[in-house]
Amino acid sequence: MPNGRTPPTSIYVMAYDQCDELDVVGPCGVFAAANFFLSQKRSDDDPQPRGKTFTVRVVAVDDSGAVEAQGSAGPLYFVTGIQGLTLGVEPWDGDDLPDLLFVAGGNTEAGTGIRRQAENKAFIGAIARQHTAGKQVVSLCTGVLGLLKAGILRGRRITGHPDVLNELVQSGAHVFNPDWEARVVDDGDLITAGGVTSGIDEALHIVRAFWPDDPQLESDVRDFIDFRYRSPIVGPPSS
């Protein structure tokens, strides 16, 4: 792995109206399992926690389609996914940047889902600021279209949902087909993945890549969620 990769203290998952629910909850499940293991004592003889846990927030920027409801402790915010499930989100101004920003995919019909967000200045601006700040950007499935509109793909090694590969090729990027070349492509500060279920592979790769001092962590998480399939991954460029 490239020098300088350290465990993140914060991961934000960008959700929006007509995002794909599995793009959000799949990786979040992996990260929750990682946090569980990090919080456990190292051994019976060493009560210190295995590692530092990290914050995971599902966030929504302005014009993301989030709706407000009044809860007992104050306002609550939700978006509705493409399968009709509602996801709780936290409003995000796009300026308080996390260590790792995860962009979920969504509906690709004109004016909906990720297509709508690709024209949303708040959405694209947050991705661009994350990249300009030198922080990690991760996309899943059609979420890569948000990265495309943010103008950060030229010359990079990437992948995405098979249905959007032709658009990605036009960006000047080196595009891998997730069906037979790579489900996850790690290009340093930019990590992309193929279709919806690739998010599990991608999140497991993040656990492996960003906790290099705990190589057992990814295996523990993989066993815990009972995910046996190992996808082809194009690793980070040599330093």
Burial class (CB in 10 A: 0-12, 13-18, 19+), 105: buried
Distance CA(54)–CA(52), nearest Å, equals 7
Query: Tell me, what DSSP letter sits at residue 173?
Result: -
Q: Which of 24, 60, 79, 141 is catalytic?
A: 141
In degrees and rounded to multiples of 5, residue 182 shows phi and psi of -165, 125
Distance CA(67)–CA(71), nearest Å, equals 13
Count the alpha carbons within 13 Å of 25 in the hemisphere toward its beta carbon. 9
Q: Is 28 a catalytic residue?
A: no
What is the SS3 assignment for 227?
coil
Q: Token match 């499935």: residue? A: 141
What is the SS3 assignment for 83?
coil
Question: Of 119, 179, 184, nearest to 157 (Cα)?
Answer: 184
Query: Which residues are identified as catalytic?
Result: 141
